[in-house]
Amino acid sequence: MLKRACLAGVVLSLALGLACGDRTGLVVDDTYGGDDASPRDAGRDAFSDVHHDGLPMIDVAIRPDVDKRDCPDADATLIYLITTDYVLYSFYPPTADFKQIGKIACPSTSGATPFSMAVDRKGIAKIVFTDGTLYRVSTSTAACQGTTFQPSQSGFFRFGMGYASDTNGPNETLYVAGDNNSSSATGLASIDASYVLHPIGQFVPTIKQAELTGTGSGDLYAFYSDKNTDPDSFIGQVDKQSGRIVGETRMTDVSQGDGWAFAFWGGDFYLFTSPTRTMLSEVTRFRPSDGTITPLTSLRQVIVGAGVSTCAPQN
């Protein structure tokens, strides 16, 4: 698998659009182009099955909107994406359009590529590379800076990641999920403002190769697969205090493939997956309110990280 086996040197020659402008730390554009868009298809029902016996579906209750008083561009917050080719994009869920922001130039070791990403309330991305190094990246300019994070703290070498509000904002926490296929510690942990990692607990039931996304109302979710159910994958609701999976919904016919990421925006989940050896990423929307899984569009690069501010719309 490309994301988890960390193949280096993947280079696609396609260039998509120009860097977009913004008013603050979050990228906001009035126009979006869909050069890589594929036809929209009808949705399908996600609620036909669950993975682990005894687990309920993920909680789909409508949450109160977040406290946005400290949020730049709070009413137009976007999803941000990073690819194996180091390209940072924004993605606007209502139109399913991408905008290229720029190519990040982090001082990584030779051959290291992006592995996962999260975005905080101010629109600053944290990107972990395949060498375990964590960087700080502007979502407006793609400028990259190093951090004081020490790789392999408590055995966490590579990990999925996502921010979730502590309650309803403005305080938030960066959560990480250890990667099972990279000699890394497993389970749930958090990283504080001083870049110190704090283990929380193992995922129960056990899940593998998880990416994380959180919400402004304090929920945390994981996106993961199971080789016994391929091509299906799952979204699980995570107890932030223990790592226990308290709810789970099966994503029928959504295979994570060679690279994957996901994000919560406006009451829906957006899944970015790369079918094996296709060297593109497909975008799928899961709508908990009616149980539909809808293919939206695609991008001719492999997306391995997605991040969205906890200022993003909840409903």
How confident is the model over 135-159, as pLDDT tens digits? 999 999 999 999 999 999 999 999 9
Q: Are 188 and 243 in contact (CB under 8 A)?
A: yes
Nearest to 149 by CA among 165, 126, 124, 121: 126
Average pLDDT of the chain is 82
Kindly indicate the confidence band of residue 32, based on its pLDDT and cuts at 50, 70 and 90: very low
Residues of the chain with pLDDT > 70, as a percent, come to 78
**What is the per-residue pLDDT for 55?**
85
**What is the per-residue pLDDT for 280?**
92
**What is the per-residue pLDDT for 239?**
97
How far is 310 from 252, CA to CA, in rounded Å? Answer: 27
* Ranges 28-42, 171-185, 203-217, 242-256: which has the least confidence: 28-42
**What is the per-residue pLDDT for 276?**
74
**What is the per-residue pLDDT for 179?**
83
How confident is the model over 287-302, as pLDDT tens digits? 999 999 999 999 999 9
- Identify the residue with better confidence: 5 or 52: 52
Kindly indicate the confidence band of residue 191, based on its pLDDT and cuts at 50, 70 and 90: very high
pTM: 0.84
281: left (phi over 0), alpha (psi -120 to 50) or beta: beta
**What is the per-residue pLDDT for 49?**
45
pLDDT score of 277 more than 80: no
